[in-house]
Amino acid sequence: MYEIEHLLSYGAFRGETLISWCMRKYNGCVANVFTKPEARRLGLASMLNVFMASKILEQEERVFTFVINDNTASVSMLEKLGYKKTDDTD
């Protein structure tokens, strides 16, 4: 809850229900991007990611994230948004 209240975070709502969100972690990366299953394939995660990136760029800071290679949906989305893979980690 602390991160949601104190770090940069954005969400998409259907009525009063939060259906997609992302936040910026302490180290500056875009993280915790998630969309509820019933709201997937609507472009919400992409929209939130672009909005978050624009806010980070307004502060003249670097936009980056971490993603597990096996998460093909996230890797594909990030590539479409212009993210470039720079490294692998264990």
Q: Which of 7, 78, 86, 1 is nearest to 45 (CA)?
A: 78
Number of domains into which the chain is organized: 1
Task: Provide the Cα torsion 2, 54, 32, 88; round to 10°.
Answer: -130
Domain membership flag for residue 19:
yes
pLDDT tier, 46 (very low <50, low <70, confident <90, very high otherwise): very high
Residue 70 φ/ψ region, left for φ over 0, alpha for ψ in the -120 to 50 degree band, beta for the rest: alpha
Domain membership flag for residue 87:
no
Domain membership flag for residue 28:
yes
If one counts every other C-beta atom within 10 angstroms of the C-beta of residue 28, the result is: 16
Structural domain for 50, as ranges:
2-80
| The pLDDT value given to residue 90 | 67
Domain membership flag for residue 48:
yes
Q: What is the pLDDT of residues 79-89, one digit of tens each?
A: 999 999 998 87
Domain membership flag for residue 73:
yes
What is the value of pTM for the model shown?
0.83
CATH code for position 22: 3.40.630.30
- By three-state DSSP, how is residue 44 classified? helix
Domain membership flag for residue 88:
no
